[in-house]
Amino acid sequence: MFDSQDVINYLLIISRKMASHIVGYPRMGPKRELKFALESFWDGKSSADDLQKVATDLRCSIWKQMTDVGIKYIPSNTFSYYDQVLDATAMLGAVPERYNYTGGEIGFDIYFSMARGNASVPAMEMTKWFDTNYHFIVPELGPNTKFSYSSHKAVSEYKEAKALGIETIPVLIGPVTYLLLSKPAKGVEKSFAPLSLLESILPIYKEVIAELKAAGASWIQFDEPTLVLDLESHQLEAFTKAYTELESSLSGLNVLIETYFADVPAEAYKIITALKGVSGFGFDLIRRAKTLDLVKSAGFPAGKYLFAGVVDGRNIWANDLASSFSTLQALEAIVGKDKLVVSTSCSLMHTAVDLVNETKLDNEIKSWLAFAAQKVVEVNALAKALAGQKDEAFFSANAAAQSSRKSSPRVTNEEVQKAAAALKGSDHRRATNVSARLDAQQKKLNLPILPTTTIGSFPQTMDLRRVRREYKANKISEEEYVKAIKEEINKVVKLQEELDIDVLVHGEPERNDMVEYFGEQLSGFAFTVNGWVQSYGSRCVKPPIIYGDVSRPKAMTVFWSKMAQSMTARPMKGMLTGPVTILNWSFVRNDQPRFETCYQIALAIKKEVEDLEAAGIQVIQIDEAALREGLPLRKSEQAFYLDWAVHSFRITNCGVQDTTQIHTHMCYSNFNDIIHSIINMDADVITIENSRSDEKLLSVFREGVKYGAGIGPGVYDIHSPRIPSTEEIADRINKMLAVLETNILWVNPDCGLKTRKYAEVNPALTNMVSAAKVLRTQLASTK
């Protein structure tokens, strides 16, 4: 028998020997070295050559390490300076007119202008990559979009690996998925279907394929994850049309179509497995089991490869090797030994890099985990077991870890489970309707029309990060830490008063991350030191690990909120992260339904809300930035999710007084299709991303949806360094006033300001407040 120390020691020995520092299979995500290189380049502190050198070193290092581990199918063109969809836009030369692209190879200036905007034009829309916390830049297309082969990145990276003696599989976003993820460009009719451009982009794909063949590629992978969605018949037919058109170009190549994040529906499975010229298909066998059932019941085309995603690419729990091995044996009987490829369920860019780097996790919890490097080991172990080379010691250590996790007393808290079970039978709505509550709140808060606020965080300076880092390392005392944070809060409060913002925030200087901060103070959570995961561009996060039942041992934010409120006579928001966002931005335990964990978190946040109210905080914001992100990809599963997610939010604030104003915040997702669920959350005020997405949120109100609570659609994009003018912001507010009542409209940025610099924040907020005042004057003169 193995105890937890034996298990972790054995697993780490194997990892050091076979998979040290591997980023992932089948895809790699930028490491933090690239984050710092990008930010240095954007700040003008380093050159394009410097950035490219860092990127090249990282790519080559990863390819070599994957070769050393023994991975047979090594990907290339999975590295990105921002995101892989933007890379495809560059490849196709599909640059919106406002960036003044005149042809030729797309360089960093055009590329990063599309991603981040520049001094004269805004960035393209950014939204979530399916139901993950990764983001992508949404392509803007129209009937007059001109396509040209404008980025040779896929071929260059293949050649780069080949020069090292490493054969790779170049990976491209598939043509149909690219178009289905696109939107009509500005000025184009909203009814325009980007899929109508399929015949226009296929010639570019043919050019790329021809160059890859000439360079010696033997495999090519097309990522077509939209195949897991509920597609209409004409959308499914586009896959047949695309790959039939590409068939002659692909002749002589092995072609893999990869899907992930959900089951492939039966009709989609039927269509893609019938495609000629395609050598293999990759399926996510972790998130639901219907695809596995399809393979067993509907059969699998003879002579084709099945890339079986049996190792979870999106979570950090060690694989149940015995269960996966059983699944693979069943598949082997269907597709044949030489046609079955063991794989992860999706890219490992969604998980942390290497468990070996985690020196502060205790051994028991560590034995339950597998980061990207360990998942590569699991893939290899399963593949070798299928080949008759089963590592019995490794499988035994894995079984011991599985057993330890199931029986550990630290996982279960009966009191928490009883409290969560008692939630059934109530919808936890506040007793008074939102209109009456807003009246009561206005009498107490006495806010002007078009009240101004920000979303929560203010710039995280290097000095501020240093203070937090030194406090965690015990290099400064608690007294010194509190003094430094207090000074920062006072600075932020005074700045907001000088700007004449109506409802203030304390700037969150004590928080590195909105989820990590709360998880550190809740039971049932564990934390990493180096478990970084990319969110977008240079933005990386360290998701907490929820391993057990969740409760709140003590107040988490009351001390700082009371301190901040004592510095001003203006309303100061208490700032919390909501239960659904904490859930969706964590690595969540997989041994109970997600909604049960969410209800536990909701009860913990409820206690914090009540303590804030008792401390005299009149406005409490409970962010649910990730509520839309967790929406299941299949429509048949969405109603159930929205029911428990919205219910969880209502649990947090159902007991507060009518005069306590509850805010929530959402960002960077498509909200139009869940607007009725947003209304059902019953918040008093919602601030919501709007400007980055071309104000498409407003279309639901133009179409007749009535919204009676306070609402603040964002008036400028905080993920761009660009500073909007007063006139531009006023124009946005006027568009909102055309569809929303004056007495419910708030004025605020799209999101928090932590990623910006004060040199950008100060003038942007100055212009925002000025725009609100101009419109107040205009509205007063028309009465």
Three-state DSSP string of 571-620: CEEEEEECHHHHHHCCECCCCCCHHHHHHHHHHHHHHHHHHHHHCCCCEE
Distance of CA 260 to the CA centre of its chain: 15
Catalytic site includes residue 719:
yes
Q: How far apart are CA 543 and CA 460, in angstroms?
A: 19
Q: How far apart are CA 580 and CA 602, in angstroms?
A: 8
| Residue burial 109-131, b: 16+ Cβ < 10 Å; e: rest | ebbbbbbbbbeebbbbbbbbbbb
Torsion of CA 20, 21, 23, 25, to 10 degrees: -10
Q: Which amino acid, residue 99?
A: Y
* Interacting residues of 10 by C-beta distance below 8 A, sequence separation 6+: 2, 393, 394, 397
Catalytic position from the list 135, 350, 506, 719? 719
- Nearest-CA neighbor of 532 among 376, 366, 360, 353? 353
Please tell me what DSSP assigns to residue 240: H
| Residue burial 456-479, b: 16+ Cβ < 10 Å; e: rest | bbbbbeeebeebbeebeeeebeee
- Nearest-CA neighbor of 689 among 667, 664, 721? 667
- Nearest-CA neighbor of 393 among 781, 783, 104, 7? 7
∠ CA 732-736-738, nearest 5°, is: 120
Beta pairing partners, 540:
534
User: Exposed, middle or buried by CB within 10 Å (0-12, 13-18, 19+), for 425?
Assistant: exposed
Q: How far apart are CA 31 and CA 50, in angstroms?
A: 16
Helix then strand then coil, in percent of the chain rounded to 5, is 45, 15, 40
| Residue burial 527-564, b: 16+ Cβ < 10 Å; e: rest | ebebbbbbbbbbebbbbbbbbbbbbbeebbbbebbbbb
Q: How far apart are CA 778 and CA 109, in angstroms?
A: 40
Which residue's structure tokens are 């089991």? 289
Phi and psi angles of residue 17, each rounded to the nearest 5 degrees, phi first: -75, -35
Considering Cα of 199, then 203, then 208, then 214, what sign does the dihedral take?
Answer: positive
CB 440 within 8 A of CB 576: no
Instruction: Quickly list DSSP for 260-307.
Output: -SSPPPHHHHHHHHT-TT--EEEEE-SS-SHHHHHHHHH---TT-EEE
Instruction: Give the number of other CB atoms < 10 A from CB of residue 780.
Output: 9
- Greatest alpha-carbon span in the chain: 83
Distance of CA 112 to the CA centre of its chain: 20
And the tokens for 183?
Answer: 């939107």
Three-state DSSP string of 432-494: CCHHHHHHHHHHHHCCCCCCEECCCECCCCHHHHHHHHHHHCCCCCHHHHHHHHHHHHHHHHH
Please tell me what DSSP assigns to residue 169: E
CB 702 within 8 A of CB 735: no
And the tokens for 705?
Answer: 């949806």
Instruction: Give the number of other CB atoms < 10 A from CB of residue 298.
Output: 11
Catalytic residues: 719
